Amino acid sequence: MAVTLADVARRSGTSTAVVSYVMNNGPRPVAPTTREKVLKAAAELGYRPNRIARALRSRTSGVVGLILADASNPYFAALARHVERALESHDKLTLTGNAGYAPDRQQHLVERFLAAQVDGLIIVSGDGGSDVAAEAEAAGVPSVYVHNAPAGARTPAVAADNDAAVHAAVTHLREEHALREIAFLGGPQDTGPVGQRQEAWRRSAAGSEDAPRLLRCDYARASASSLVTDLAAEGRLPRAMLVATDEQAIGVLAAAFAAGVRVPQDLAVISLDGSPESAYTAPALTATRQPLQAMAEHAVDLLLHRTEGPNAPRADLVVRASCGCPAGPAPTDPVI
């Protein structure tokens, strides 16, 4: 039998109303000594609050829906962990759905989460698709985009300062390693954060003696590996490459190794995601580390309190071996 409020009340010598006030932090105050007795009794009995009953009383579910562009991508997975922790600090449970880069799947998840009566939606959107957050707002459910938002969306969006990140990467390759031919490996389209990174690269690479080279492939290790394999076989590899995502950068490193291309001696690589996994490649990736924790906390504040935060947080350049710098010590601190 599940432990009830009445069981806790009997054990603590109080009323069910007092137990309810303690478990729900109100609406009436409870004396500290009484509160301690209730919490001790609840712990001894193994009492767990009934979220469904609480939702019926408060007309809130205590659940926030999190929609990821691709849950298997380490960048999005790391961002999701930060979002979950930020929501947990507000006593919110996270319900996560994976859109798999499919706009129709993203739309389906929004509809399912709204049907489940979530308190809010955090949408880590990929490229393409409609403004699904507008549907949530029309239903009275607050929402916020993170990482990317559809063009013209009026819903608040939280992203990093891509311009500053790309400029720092290009400047490092030029000033520290005297590299001029800096190509950019983007995705299939010029939209979203990758499109912004690409435009920043074009501006930063302007004035170079070598015309900037734009390369494209899907956001997948296999696609990037296939591209680099072909370029190496044709003798068309650039001297340096900015890579839009860590997933692509890992594919670049794998293909370079297989083709006998030395990184960084023959090909310098900087990734623009900076997920925790980037520190553990061989060689370790120099990367512009996206401020995932700051993005997640800002998104949760916007969702729950509509609190305006500071300007877009900056992605710091983390220098490792893949750009040509001396390899530093292996990371020992937790990556998240």
Are 118 and 185 found together in one domain? no
Final residue before a domain boundary, out of 115, 142, 158: 158
Region 204-227: mean pLDDT is 84
327 located within any domain:
no
Q: Give the list of residues 6+ apart from residue 178 with CB closer than 8 angstroms, or none.
A: none
213 located within any domain:
yes
Q: Apex CA 99: angle with CA 98 and CA 104, to 5°? A: 150
Cα(75)–Cα(221) distance, integer angstroms: 13
Stated pTM of the model: 0.76
54 located within any domain:
no
How many alpha carbons lie under 13 Å from residue 90 in its C-beta half-sphere?
Answer: 21
Are 201 and 116 found together in one domain? no
The pLDDT of residue 333 is: 46
Tokens representing residue 199 in the block = 């435009």
302 located within any domain:
no
Are 137 and 189 found together in one domain? no
- DSSP string for 198-238: HHHHHHHHTT-SSPP-EEE--SSHHHHHHHHHHHHHTT---
Residue 314 has pLDDT above 60, yes or no: yes
Between the alpha carbon of residue 141 and those of residues 52, 89, 119, the distances in Å are: 18, 20, 6
307 located within any domain:
no
> Which residue type sits at 232?
A
Output DSSP code: residue 279: G
301 located within any domain:
no
Are 94 and 144 found together in one domain? yes
Q: DSSP strand E in 130-194: where?
A: 143-146, 157-158, 182-186
The CATH number of the domain holding residue 175 is 3.40.50.2300
Tell me the pLDDT of the chain averaged across its residues.
Answer: 88
303 located within any domain:
no
The pLDDT of residue 301 is: 93
Tokens representing residue 4 in the block = 């009830």
Instruction: Express as a percent the part of the chain with pLDDT over 70.
Output: 90
More confident residue, 43 or 223: 223
Cα(59)–Cα(56) distance, integer angstroms: 5
Parent domain of 31:
5-49
pLDDT band at 23 (very low <50, low <70, confident <90, very high): confident
- Based on the structure, what is the number of domains in the chain? 3
